[in-house]
Structure 1
Amino acid sequence: MDLMGMMGKLKETQQKIEDTKKRLDTVLINEQSADGLLKVTLTANRAIKSITINDTLLEDKEQLEDYMILVLNNAIEKATKTNEAELDAVAKMDMPMIPGMDNLFK
Structure 2
Amino acid sequence: MFGDMMGMMSKIKEAQQKVEETKKRLNTVLVDEESTDGLLKITLTANREIKNIDIANSLLEDKEQLEDYLILTLNKAISKASKINESELAAVAKEGMPNIPGLDKFME
1:93 shift after superposition: 1.2
* 2:15 paired residue number: 13
Say if 1:61 and 1:48 are closer, same or farther in 2 by CA, change over 3 A: same
Please tell me the residue identity of whatever aligns with 1:86: E
Q: Does 1:70 pair with 2:72?
A: yes
Segments of structure 2 that go 5 or more residues without pairing to the other structure are: none
Partner of 1:30: 32
Deviation of 1:96 after TM superposition, in Å, equals 2.3
- Greater helix content: 2
In the TM superposition, residue 97 of structure 1 has moved relative to its aligned partner by 4.7
Q: What is the match of residue 86 of structure 2?
A: 84
Report how far residue 57 of structure 1 moved. 0.1
How many aligned positions are there?
103
| TM-superposed deviation, 1:101 | 7.3
Pick the structure with greater CA Rg.
2
Q: How large is the Cα RMSD of the aligned pairs?
A: 1.6
Q: Give TM-score, length-normalised by structure 2.
A: 0.89
Percent identity between the two aligned chains? 67
**1:47 equivalent in alignment to 2:60:** no
Question: TM-score, structure 1 length as denominator?
Answer: 0.91
CA distance in 2, matches of 1:20, 1:31: 22
- The SS at the match of 1:10 is helix
| Secondary structure in 2 matching 1:52 | strand
